[in-house]
Amino acid sequence: MNNFKPRMLAIIREADCIGCTRCIQACPADAILGSAQWMHTVIAEECIGCQLCIPPCPVDCIEMVPILEPTENKSVRKQKAVHFRKRYHARQARLLHEAQSQPVTLHEKGDKKAYIQAAIERARLKKIR
């Protein structure tokens, strides 16, 4: 029986992308590049194929494609796992830092809803640390 499963990679149809940044916020691997109002693109080497970027895209312009890679030995797979874990933790640290630095600005603006949302996000990030 063949258990081979190709690695899945997200690709963005850049012509359809409206630059809303929702996929960036959803990607746990920081594998998407782009900024508001600009088209976005996936960094193939960093994509872990989790598909979390697909549901938030309002224009449905992200798809998963299989890619064929040379068979990796255990040591290479382990190195990759460490690399992806490091990127994930770096992302969590950045999100926490952003959430912690948000309240002052938002509070000054009197944006109560965003202030509460930032507080909820801080609490959520603390839980998963």
Please report, as ranges, the residues that interact with ligand SF4 according to CB under 6 A. 10, 12, 17-23, 26-27, 29, 31-32, 34, 40, 42, 47-53, 56-57, 59, 61-62
The H or E element spanning position 67 is strand 62-67
Closest CB to ligand SF4 among residues 56, 103: 56
**Measured CA angle at 35 (ends 40, 89), to 5 deg:** 90
In angstroms, the CA 112 to CA 48 distance is 36
Token representation of residue 126:
């603390």
CB of 56 to ligand SF4, least distance (A): 6
Q: How far is the CB of 63 from ligand SF4 (least distance, A)?
A: 10
CB of 73 to ligand SF4, least distance (A): 23
The residue among 46 and 121 lying less far from ligand SF4, judged by its C-beta, is 46
**Which of 67, 63, 45 lies closest to 54, judged by CA?**
63
